[in-house]
């Protein structure tokens, strides 16, 4: 979180995340350049510039695939949640690697062209009427432009300027970039007759990503469609048993109309907030309570449990709901209170905590 726009904001966790990411990039490039000559026959061995192109091109595709896989993986298994935290930096690194691949291609194939390199790129192959001769380079250029736009607009300034719904809609175009890369590689093989192994790997990644998204999306859609059962009180829903909520975590219910509500348990108390972060609509309910604040797993935006407001000087707010405990059953009023309304968290009786084999971590008023 920040109250002013800085080019790059790092904290200790982000520095560790980015360090692992950059070390992985360097290790992949060095390994590729070292192993590829050992695995190919001498007559198949490309020159060093071509190896560099392949190394950065394959790495860009691998990073793009991982970026797209993180979301559904985190939905299916909470152990992947930490990868969500700094995904914007992951995307920026992907764009830089893809741009490096493009520069190597331009410098190798068009350095001695009598026409400017970009003009030569767009006019060297114009067989639009034949699949085998289609100018596959255009798909690569399109994907690179999309990645560049997403990298530039990943900054919070653009999120605030465009508003979260529009910003998110723009960033969903990453799927168009991925589709363009698949076409770029597939048509490239048809034209050149090379890199059959890369085509197979692209096909495997495409099948994997489609499967992950279908499974995760099906699970989410089924949960939303079913909704949470109605509680005895009119206008309230039953979100589950208090024993299902780990300390510092949440269980998510679905109100009529599809609104998701996260009920957090912290220090023996229950609080209900909207599951949607005001920053990038991240899933608050998949986050945890850190130092007394609900923390979004995507970028660390924080909110108070009692009113859904970020601590000063921050101004972000999310919807707050009334919560009640009936025995072990957690009930939530489906209609939110006005933004910023303070509601005292509901204390879980010691008898209930004892029954579920848990004790509050920290003092709370009696």
Q: For the residues 329-340, what does the mean pLDDT come to?
A: 93
pTM for the model: 0.75
Residue 71 burial (CB count, 10 A): 17
Residue 259 burial (CB count, 10 A): 18
Q: For the residues 69-85, what does the mean pLDDT come to?
A: 85
**Cα–Cα distance for residue pair 60/98, rounded to 1 Å:** 5
263 is written with which tokens?
Answer: 């009920």
Burial class of residue 105 in the structure, from the number of CB atoms within 10 Å of its CB (0-12 exposed, 13-18 middle, 19+ buried): buried
Taking 3-state DSSP, the helix, strand and coil percentages for the chain, each rounded to the nearest 5, stand at 50, 15, 35
Closest CA to 175 of 187, 183, 186, 164: 183
Q: For the residues 229-250, what does the mean pLDDT come to?
A: 90
What does the pLDDT look like over 257-279, one tens digit per residue? 888 999 999 999 999 999 998 88
More confident residue, 287 or 127: 287
What does the pLDDT look like over 33-74, one tens digit per residue? 998 888 877 777 778 888 899 899 999 999 999 999 998 998
Cis peptide before 94 (omega within 30 of 0): no
pLDDT at 365: 36
Radius of gyration of the chain (CA): 25
| Rounded alpha-carbon distances, angstroms, from residue 6 to 91, 106, 134, 170, 262 | 18, 33, 43, 22, 31
User: DSSP code of 112?
Assistant: T
| Rounded alpha-carbon distances, angstroms, from residue 271 to 77, 173, 322 | 24, 36, 8
Contact 276, 263 (CB under 8 A): no
pLDDT at 362: 44
Determine the 3-state secondary structure of 4 from DSSP.
coil
Q: Is the pLDDT of residue 237 over 50?
A: yes
Output the DSSP codes for 247-294: TT-EEEEE-TTS-EEEEEEETTEEEEEESB-TTT--BGGGSEEETTEE
pLDDT band for position 110 (cuts 50, 70, 90) = confident
**Cα–Cα distance for residue pair 261/243, rounded to 1 Å:** 17
User: DSSP code of 168?
Assistant: H
């Amino acid at each position: 979180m920040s109250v002013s726009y800085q080019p790059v904001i790092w904290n200790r966790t982000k520095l560790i995340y980015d360090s692992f990411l950059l070390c992985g990039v360097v290790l992949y490039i060095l390994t590729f350049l070292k192993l590829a000559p050992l695995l190919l026959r001498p007559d198949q061995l490309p020159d060093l510039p071509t190896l560099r192109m392949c190394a950065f091109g394959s790495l860009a595709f691998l990073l793009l695939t991982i970026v797209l896989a993180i979301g559904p993986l985190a939905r299916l298994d909470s152990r992947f949640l930490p990868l969500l935290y700094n995904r914007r930096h992951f995307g920026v690194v992907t764009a830089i690697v893809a741009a490096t691949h493009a520069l190597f291609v331009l410098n190798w194939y068009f350095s001695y062209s009598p026409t400017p390199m970009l003009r030569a790129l767009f006019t060297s192959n114009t067989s639009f009427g034949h699949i085998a001769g289609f100018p596959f380079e255009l798909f690569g250029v399109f994907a690179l432009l999309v990645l560049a736009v997403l990298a530039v607009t990943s900054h919070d300034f653009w999120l605030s300027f465009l508003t979260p719904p529009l910003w998110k809609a723009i960033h969903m175009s990453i799927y168009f970039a991925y589709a363009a890369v698949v076409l770029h590689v597939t048509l490239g093989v048809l034209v050149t007759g090379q890199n059959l192994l890369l085509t197979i790997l692209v096909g495997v990644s495409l099948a994997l990503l489609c499967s992950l998204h279908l499974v995760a999306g099906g699970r989410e859609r089924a949960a939303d469609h079913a909704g949470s059962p109605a509680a005895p009180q009119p206008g309230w829903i039953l979100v589950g048993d208090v024993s299902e909520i780990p300390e510092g975590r949440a269980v998510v219910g679905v109100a009529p109309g599809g609104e998701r509500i996260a009920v957090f348990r912290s220090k023996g108390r229950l609080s209900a907030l909207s599951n949607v972060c005001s920053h990038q609509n991240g899933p608050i309910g998949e986050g945890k309570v850190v130092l007394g604040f609900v923390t979004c797993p995507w970028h660390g935006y924080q909110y108070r449990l009692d009113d859904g407001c970020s601590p000063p000087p921050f101004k972000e707010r999310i919807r707050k709901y009334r919560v009640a405990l009936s025995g072990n059953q957690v009930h939530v009023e489906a209609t939110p209170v006005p933004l910023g309304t303070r509601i005292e968290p509901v204390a879980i009786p010691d008898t209930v905590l004892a029954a579920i084999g848990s004790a509050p971590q920290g003092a709370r008023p009696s």
